[in-house]
Amino acid sequence: MLLCERKTIPREPGWHFEIKYDGYRLLATTGDAPHLKSRNGANATTWFPELVDALAALPSGYITDGEVCVLDDIGKSDFERLHARARRKGWYRGADPVAYCVFDLLVSKGRDLREQPIERRKASLQKLLAEPQTGLLYVDSVEDGAWLYGHALALGLEGVVGKRAGSTYRAGERSRDWVKVKRPGAVPPERFKR
């Protein structure tokens, strides 16, 4: 599911807000044969082998959506360091560690949850990630978007994501039910070229 960009935080009730991480958006399968797949379908499993053990420790039959990031000491994502790491398509001595910041659950025990409301998917995801696993981070949400955005500005984070209450997951679609509000200047014009 893709985000629509907005300049301001939705002010009407009925929204959940999360930190916007700046990384690589990946789907992950859990259990015996963990697999990481990029938005364009690339197999990213070998790029981040340290996440494989964490995903393997979870029960089989789950598919999650999240962002792989390199996080600094305060938990701020650093896209340039992630890109430098990912360019090598695997772990190497001195590689920055990555975290998989998981914000949605699409399949639970083999059952498709995409038509379930976001609140139900998040509750199931929180249960799945209840036992801490190195490298996996559950992305929680709050209802006060202005408060979260203020903190994102103060900390120099990329921004926030708003998800409309009750929204379903529509794979591959850009939806006004999921919006991003970036901090001004969050993505500088001289950012690397892929």
Taking only the tens place, the pLDDT of each residue in 133-175 is 899 999 999 999 999 999 999 999 999 999 999 999 998 889 9
pLDDT at residue number 190:
56
- Indicate the pTM of the whole model: 0.91
- Tokens of residue 146, six digits: 């202005």
What domains sit in the chain, N to C, each tagged with a CATH number?
Answer: 2-182 (3.30.470.30)
> Is 182 a known active-site residue?
no
Checking if the pLDDT of 132 tops 60, the result is yes
Q: Which of 7, 20, 122, 182 is catalytic?
A: 20
- Tokens of residue 68, six digits: 């792989």
Beta-carbon neighbour count of residue 45 at 10 Å? 18
pLDDT at residue number 150:
97
Segment 36-43 mean pLDDT = 92
pLDDT digits (tens, 9 = 90+) for 88-102: 887 778 889 999 999
Segment 47-64 mean pLDDT = 94
Rounded to an integer, what distance in angstroms lies between the CA atom of residue 148 and that of residue 165?
17
pLDDT at residue number 77:
94
Rounded to an integer, what distance in angstroms lies between the CA atom of residue 36 and that of residue 186?
27
pLDDT at residue number 94:
82
